Chains A and B, each alone.
Chain A
Amino acid sequence: MSDFFNFLLNGLSCGAIYALIAVGYTMVYGIIKLINFAHGEFYMFGAFVGYAALYALFGVHPTGGEPGFLIFAASLLLAGLLTAILAVVVERFCYRPLRNAGRIVALLSALGVSLLLQNLGQQTVGASYRKFAPTLTEARFPRTEVDLASLQPGQTFDRTVVLDYALRDERGRDQQRTHAVVLAGEPLSAAALAETLRLAQASSRPAHAYTYAAVTVSSKQLVIVLTLVLVAAGLYGLVQHTRFGRAMRAVSVDFRAAALMGIDVNRIVSGTFFIGAFVAGIGGFLAGGMYYERIDPLMGLLPGLKAFVAAVLGGIGSIPGAILGALLLGISEKMVEAYVHSGLRDAFAFGILIAVLLVRPSGLLGRFEGDKV
């Protein structure tokens, strides 16, 4: 049963990542009825901006470097901001001139932008993966301490036990290091216990042991899910309670009528791209740079498509729908991976897309928009 909850949590954070991309998809669709296939590339761009900001701007090593909270937040903000600016430029030059040319034309342009950004990325930073794992002191909650003195060689445990010691680094700070992980049911080796105690003597802090509860949440998962909660609350406030949101909703219902009421439609569209891409950029940095720990110019492709599926599942055009769809998709993917077959994960996701389009094209929270006859 505890496995089930762990899968649920993993699915939730995976879904939260999809959600950060899907809200942009759905906002842009809601307002100009364009499936912006370049949106996954905004996510990729955000990850690279975050990488560049941490590494080049703040001098934090991309793997294992420890950015402080302020530096981390500044990089996150920069990732969102530059991605948002990229999106506004893309909209201005690749979509706006085509707005009256029909939806299929703009869709093709979006596919073109997507490929362009992927290839530009490969050309400039190379096609291979780079490891991007700034340490956010990866802690797992909840965990409980085990009295080290009570441990006996050969002892077995019903849960995984971790043996830690502290190591003094070159700057004189103690850093937590894990020496041994004893899986549930395995005997604790005498050598591991002795070695941990010996290593600990070299530092100022004693070694210690702890065990995880049956269900754990990692700090990275917490950050991602909390970010989604903040984003969702922020978007709700923006859309429902601001003048910009009011104008946005008006444009999404009827952009011609909105223009005739004095709303500058281009400004609202730019603003929508800005916000959607800002969220996607943040998502790219958090997911690529923190959760999956590696980035490459094609990293936006699959999450982008999955987010599209999520947006369709939730009802494209609806922000709450996109978030709900993304969480459902993330969780069910992990369940399929765990209980059916890991190779079927992506097939399952795209199967959902086909099923939704066949059975309920308006999605879970979408409205059916029939053409007037």
Chain B
Amino acid sequence: MSEGARVDRGDAVLSARGVSRCFGGLTAVCDFDLDLFAGEIVGLIGPNGAGKTTVFNLLTGVYEPTRGNISVRGCDIGRMKPDGIAGLGVARTFQNIRLFRDMTVLENVKVGCQPRKRQSLLGALVRSKHFRAEEAAFEREALELLEMMGLSEVRGVQAGALAYGQQRRLEIARALAGRPKILLLDEPAAGANERESADLQALIREIRARFDLTILVIEHDMPFVMGLVARLLVLDHGETIACGTPEEVRAHPKVIEAYLGQEAAK
């Protein structure tokens, strides 16, 4: 482990220890360790099929780890369901966009507010004053988020009808609506051109500062991720083969091997 990976900066907001996940005979993720400290942006890279998205699924409760522990803000999430983990302040986007396609842009963001609801079903049934106030607040904040993402104009449009880049931004807006502490971005720059990548980088930095976020990002676009993060983890075949600053990782022989094949590494 290099210095960059384990610097003591107080308690980690999210930590995984020895997390493995097997599907039948296949070990998709093996002995995965991670500490995310408040405010940092960490990258997770690796060739196709390395287990990056499986890591996201483990961190958000879609899969239970076969072995190992994950804790979020000091709370063990081993057996928690995804909605409970979302309630702890973990939000994510998806590699293959998973918006609620036939709901409007605004409604998508309002669904994202769900982890913050305080009002019970009873309040909703009688439409109490507090419930209506909460709904109004959600609506207001959803509109602000759309404004920030440049989606105000299309707030009444069905999410499935948006352009690809807009859909990616809407996913981020929806994830932010729950006021998460930790944001997991799964290939946010996929399909973006150079110009859009640069905008996206700026946007991610801006939301981190504005919402006081800790961000873990999966990305294939190397220039994008190298320019964005302070440190990186590299997965290959489910194992963490390297971690450290972008420079350290780039020079790591195992990383070169994983990306370019054994011949190139020699």
Contact = CB atoms under 8 A, between A and B. Distances in A.
Contact of B62 (A246, A253, A256, A367): A256
A84 to B, nearest CB: 14
B244 interface: no
B46 interface: no
A244 B124 contact: yes
Interface string A259-282: 111111100000000000000000
A265 B82 CA distance: 9
Nearest to A240: B107
Interface string A236-256: 000000111011011001101
B90 to A, nearest CB: 9
Contact of A243 (B91, B92, B124): B124
Given A261-B112, A261-B174, A254 B100 contact: yes
Contacts of B174: 261
A263 B83 contact: yes
A23 to B, nearest CB: 19
B60 interface: yes
Interface in B175-215: 175, 178
A249 B103 contact: yes
Given A257-B94, A259-B81, A242 B124 contact: yes
Interface in B85-128: 86-87, 91-92, 94, 96, 98-103, 107, 110-112, 114-117, 121, 124
A93 B66 CA distance: 26
A253 B100 contact: yes
A94 interface: no
A263 B100 contact: no
B102 A260 contact: no
A258 interface: yes
B135 interface: yes
Contacts of B117: 243
* Interface-centre pick from B60, B83, B94, B135 (highest chain A CB count, 10 A): B83
A320 to B, nearest CB: 14
Nearest to B111: A250
A257 B124 contact: no
Interface in A355-372: 367, 372
Interface string B52-77: 00000000111000000000000000
A262 B178 contact: yes
Contacts of A262: 83, 86-87, 112, 114-116, 178
A207 B3 CA distance: 104
Contacts of B96: 372
Contacts of A259: 61-62, 81-83, 86
What interface size band does chain A fall in? Answer: 20 to 34
Nearest to A268: B83
Contacts of A260: 60-62, 82-83, 86, 91-92
A261 B62 contact: no
B132 to A, nearest CB: 11
Contacts of B178: 261-262
Contacts of A261: 86, 91, 111-112, 114-115, 174-175, 178
Interface string A75-89: 000000000000000
A247 B113 CA distance: 11
Given A243-B117, A263-B111, A257 B100 contact: yes
B111 A256 contact: no
B119 to A, nearest CB: 8
Nearest to A266: B81
Contacts of A367: 102
B134 to A, nearest CB: 9
B160 to A, nearest CB: 9
B220 to A, nearest CB: 20
A261 to B, nearest CB: 5
| Max count, chain B CB within 10 A of own CB: residue among A244, A262, A372 | A262
Contacts of A264: 81, 83
Contacts of A246: 103, 107, 110-111
Interface in A194-237: none
Given A259-B83, A260-B86, A249 B100 contact: yes
A247 B114 CA distance: 8
A110 B101 CA distance: 29
A261 B82 CA distance: 8
16 contacts: A243-B117, A243-B135, A246-B107, A247-B111, A249-B102, A256-B62, A256-B98, A259-B61, A259-B83, A260-B60, A260-B83, A260-B91, A261-B86, A261-B115, A262-B115, A263-B111
Q: Please list the 7 inter-chain residue pairs (A to B) with the smallest Cβ-Cβ separation, ordered nearest first.
A: A262-B115, A262-B86, A259-B82, A262-B114, A257-B98, A253-B100, A250-B111
